[in-house]
Amino acid sequence: MKKDGAELGFEERMSMLREELGEAQLNDDAILAANLEAQIFQTEASLEEFREKASAIDKDFAERLANLEARADTVREKREQVARTTAKQLKSSGEDAKGLGIGLTIAYSFIGCPIVGYLIGLGIEKGGGPQFSKDWGAVIGIVLGFFAMIILVKRESGNR
C-alpha cells in the first residue's frame, strides 16, 4: 500500500485497516439497527392488527352475548307468564268448583226441604191425619230449607 507515493510502515497500515474495519463495523451496526427497526415496526404493525381483530371479536362476542341474554329474558318472561296463568286457572278452577258445590247444596236444601215436608205431610194425611198436613209439611219444609240455606251461607262466608 502506498500513500502519496510513499511506502507505509506496518503501524500505519494497521492503523488504516483499523479505520476501515471501524467504518465497516459502523456500517454493519447501522444495517443491524435498520433491520431491528424494521422488525420492531413490523411487530408493532402485527400487534396493532391483532388488537383490531381482537376488538372485532370482542364486539361480535358482546353482540352475541346481548342477543343470548335478550332471548333468555324473553323465554324467562314467557315461562313466568305461563306459570302465572296456570296458577290463576288452577286457583280459579278450584274456587269455581267450590262455589258450584256450595250453590248446588243451597239449591238442593232450599228445594228439597219443602218437597220432603210435603211428602211427610202427605204420609200423615194418608195415615189418617188432618187434611192440611201436606200443605203444612210443605210450609215447614220451606222454613227449614230457608234456615238451612242461611246456615250454609254463613258457614261458607266464615270460611273465606
Band (5; pLDDT cuts 50, 70, 90): very low
Q: How many residues comprise the chain?
A: 160
User: Is the pLDDT assigned to residue 24 strictly greater than 80?
Assistant: no
C-alpha cell at 64: 352475541
User: Is the pLDDT assigned to residue 4 strictly greater than 70?
Assistant: no
C-alpha cell at 103: 250453590
For residues 38-75, one letter each, b for 16 or more C-beta atoms within 10 angstroms of the residue's C-beta and e for the rest, the string is eeeeeeeeeeeeeeeeeeeeeeeeeeeeeeeeeeeeee
Beta carbons within 8 Å of 8's beta carbon, 6+ residues apart? 1, 2, 16
Q: Of 24-38, 65-79, 103-117, 118-132, where does mean pLDDT reach its minimum?
A: 24-38
Q: Cell 402485527 identifies what position?
A: 46
User: Is the pLDDT assigned to residue 35 strictly greater than 50?
Assistant: yes
The domain locations on the chain are 2-159
What is the rounded average pLDDT of the residues 117-143? 88
C-alpha cell at 142: 220451606
Q: Cell 459502523 identifies what position?
A: 26
Q: What's at 121, amino acid-wise? A: G
Torsion-angle region of residue 85: left (phi > 0), alpha (psi -120 to 50) or beta?
alpha
Q: Which residues pair with 23 in a beta bridge?
A: none
| Mean pLDDT computed over every residue of the chain | 83
pLDDT for position 97: 80
C-alpha cell at 76: 324467562
pTM: 0.41
**What pLDDT, in 10s, does the model give residues 76-122?**
999 999 988 888 887 777 777 888 888 888 888 888 989 999 999 88
DSSP state of 9: P
User: Is the pLDDT assigned to residue 128 strictly greater than 70?
Assistant: yes
pLDDT for position 115: 92
* % the chain with pLDDT above 70: 91
pLDDT for position 8: 62
CA–CA dist 86, 89 (Å, integer): 5
User: Is the pLDDT assigned to residue 56 strictly greater than 70?
Assistant: yes
